[in-house]
Amino acid sequence: MHRVAVLAQDDVVGIELATAVQVFEIANFKRGAPAYRVGVVGSREWAPSAALTGPPSFSVRAEHDWSWADGADTVVVPATGGSLDPPPARVRDLLLAAHERGARVASLCVGAFTVAATGLMDGRPATTHWHFADEFARRFPAVRLETDRLFTGQDGVYSAAGVTAALDLCLHLVELDLGAGVAAATARYLVAPMRREGGQSQFIDYTPPARPDELAATLRWAEEHLAEDLTLADLARHAAMSPRTFSRRFAAGVGTTPVHWLLRTRVRRAKELLEVTDLPVDRIAREVGFRSPSTFRHHFGRFTRTTPREYRRSFSGGRG
């Protein structure tokens, strides 16, 4: 029987630990016969559990000590909410030994920091929660960080992005082990899609760019006139500059080109309309300044890695 060890380090994020346990246990149920033996392992019987952004708020029981994971076929590393410090030696050695004997190692969310600290992710693709991606890239430059992916996997080393992407990865592992039928039945039982379109880029918060005083009024004006066929010349004219001067100052102050900023702003506004209105997609395309639905879909896909309809379905309770 395939043994799955889910690590309960101190301050483990409860939702991710529970997701891993539930997916594999429900796969057993939907298969009609046990394929997995799932165990929660830790250094003490009761491990404090925390939210990703807060202090411990409850405890989870670790049924087994670390040694139970020594014979595991899959080792799952949920996030910890307390810190991003390197793992203790026992956890590091456990992960290295697991990979050495051919077991899978799967990190969830910022559990990627734990696995990356062992060197197992060096030269391999990995992902983590988008909010911590810059810090991850700074600490682990040898890892091929792919921030737009919901999950990655190569050479037995897997990683899932933020929080609910743990479900995507665990369903993928079930599919690898037991086939698409059992994975789909497990997803249905969890009232979840077996595969989600897109990636983390659809969920990343919008951070307004810097707005130099000399450009702030023009940026506000452009945001209020997105439905119009704005050009670089229009923006420069509003700012009382030549197009060349405007482009140079825009790049220096905002950090991108006027055309790229305008496209990104239009897509951001389209996302807001998809989330809170029932307007047809073609109408939204016109409202934000795209002259054809196909052009809108192309640029929306570039920035979000999904389609307008899939985005609306994800964020608006299934409206198509």
- Which H/E stretch holds residue 104? strand 104-108
Where do the structural domains in the chain lie, given as residue ranges?
2-197, 213-315
3 state SS of 10: coil
Please answer whether residues 118 and 92 qualify as being in contact, where contact means their C-beta atoms are separated by less than 8 angstroms.
Answer: yes
The two beta strands, 46-50 and 12-13, are parallel
Contacts of 17 (CB under 8 A, 6+ apart): 6, 8, 40, 49, 60, 78
CATH 3.50.50.60 fits 213-315, yes or no: no
pLDDT of the chain, 320 residues: tens digit per residue: 999 999 999 888 989 999 999 999 999 999 999 999 999 999 877 777 766 666 666 788 888 999 999 999 999 999 988 678 899 999 999 999 999 999 999 999 999 999 999 999 999 999 999 889 999 999 999 999 998 888 999 999 999 998 789 999 999 999 889 988 888 889 888 887 666 655 555 444 444 454 557 788 899 899 999 999 999 999 999 999 999 999 999 988 888 899 999 999 999 889 888 877 889 999 999 999 999 999 999 999 988 888 999 888 765 444 44
Is this model's pTM higher than 0.85 or not?
no
Please answer whether residues 165 and 200 qualify as being in contact, where contact means their C-beta atoms are separated by less than 8 angstroms.
Answer: yes
The reply to whether 213-315 shares the fold of 2-197 is no
CATH, range 2-197:
3.40.50.880
The full DSSP string for 151-214 is EEEETTEEEE-STTHHHHHHHHHHHHHH-HHHHHHHHHHTT--SS-SS-GGGTPPP-PPP--HH
Tokens 């910022």, residue? 110
